[in-house]
Amino acid sequence: MVSEEIWFSQRERIYSIVKGKIEWTDQKKIWNWDRCTVSLVRTPAYMEGSSAKKLRIVVRSNSNQNQTSIKVNRPMNLRFMLGFDIEKVGEIKCEKPDPEMHSKRSSEIWTGPKERWIFQLDEDYWIWCWKEDGVELSSTNIYRIHQDICHHLSNPGTDSFDQIFRLEEKSTSDGIVLSHLRSADAKKESIVPVIYQPAVDGLKNFVREVHCNQKEIDDDISEVEVTLVFNDEELRDNSILDDTYRRLRAIRYNRTSDVETFKIRINRKDRSKSCFIFKNIYSIIDGKRYGLNQDSIHGDPDPDNDIEHEIAYYFVDYNHPIVFINTSNHAMAEHDANRDLWKWEYLPGVMDSPVSLGSKSREKIDKEYIEVPHLLKEVKKTKHI
């Protein structure tokens, strides 16, 4: 397989973590990401008559790591995703480095080490690759991506909204994912969500386990109880209470890790009736999408009714609905509330995924957390950083 990975650059505001909370500054910097692949998605808002010619660009990247923790002692691949909407694309140009400006250390000035082919998307995004001797521009990945984007922006009427995030074998990492999804085990009508979580939240709040307890209601309908086991639950908006909250979890639940559960109902006969049920953990309340700094969001709290939310996107096929973890207390939704932040892309079941895939029910998981005598003592000794 010939890799079609490219470089991606993004200008964004610099943020800092102050007492666990993300604070955005007025300063901006251009960040460069390597090992990226690009795909295009037509968004629902555009197809519903928006006057702006917008197209969603989905950039994916990955990084090989060796996880040596007791629970995950194996090589793994951290996958990342950023999705953003654009309405204009610049021409491809050859950019030469300016070594005289290297001492200024400005991310806005290209200082090398060599020439590159580059084009701009809107004001804050760039796609580029190195310029190689003897290689014509028309034969590069950059040229093909540029042509594809121009075509979709110029011919919006020929596109229709597709809920499926398509994945092509453009890199070794993408090949591993597609190989798994095409395998016999993955094709047994098992419903497994693909989960996105802001990468900055993964320092302590990352997902460790995903359990999909699936039941067949009838020949056409499957219902899956999905339970996520997080390493921790770090408060941001109320960070001063974080140590106390951690101790309370140890006393009440015999654990300091966070466990959250939602349901997926798949209707194979009528996909429009497939839905999520996020009881007491929905990150949208009265139409407002709450983001990462929020840590007390509990949408859809009604214990007597299942509030259904239509599935907005799927990954590769209809057996993999997409879920966005949006807040610090792990409230989630079918839409992304942190569009400016890179996401960790969790693909449970893939051999190099950092999360494990199981099929335990929430009831069984709760029962497995037996009290360890020294647990509370260890929690009290833990200093919050």
pLDDT digit of tens for each residue in the chain (385 aa)? Answer: 446 889 999 999 888 777 667 788 888 999 999 989 998 876 655 444 444 557 889 999 988 776 555 555 567 888 999 999 999 999 999 999 877 665 566 778 888 789 999 999 999 999 999 999 999 999 999 999 999 999 988 886 655 556 788 888 888 888 899 988 888 666 677 999 999 999 886 557 789 899 999 999 998 999 999 999 988 667 666 666 666 666 776 666 667 678 999 999 999 999 999 999 999 999 999 999 999 888 889 999 988 899 999 999 999 999 999 999 999 889 999 999 998 889 999 999 998 898 899 999 999 998 887 644 444 444 444 444 3
At 200 the pLDDT is 83
288, 230, 16, 324 alpha-carbon torsion, rounded to 10°: -30
At 19 the pLDDT is 66
At 104 the pLDDT is 64
At 53 the pLDDT is 58
At 333 the pLDDT is 97
Query: Whole-angstrom Cα distance, residue 154 to residue 150?
Result: 6
Instruction: Please write down the HEC assignment for all residues of 31-57.
Output: EEEEEEEEEEECCHHHHCCCCCCCEEE
At 309 the pLDDT is 96
At 265 the pLDDT is 97
Write the burial class of residue 24 (CB in 10 Å: 0-12 exposed, 13-18 middle, 19+ buried). Answer: exposed
Q: Residue holding tokens 């859809």? A: 300
At 164 the pLDDT is 84
Q: Residue holding tokens 């990945």? A: 141
Query: Whole-angstrom Cα distance, residue 194 to residue 179?
Result: 16
At 241 the pLDDT is 63
Write the burial class of residue 252 (CB in 10 Å: 0-12 exposed, 13-18 middle, 19+ buried). Answer: exposed
The predicted model scores a pTM of 0.85
At 384 the pLDDT is 42
Residue 370: both structure tokens together: 């037996």
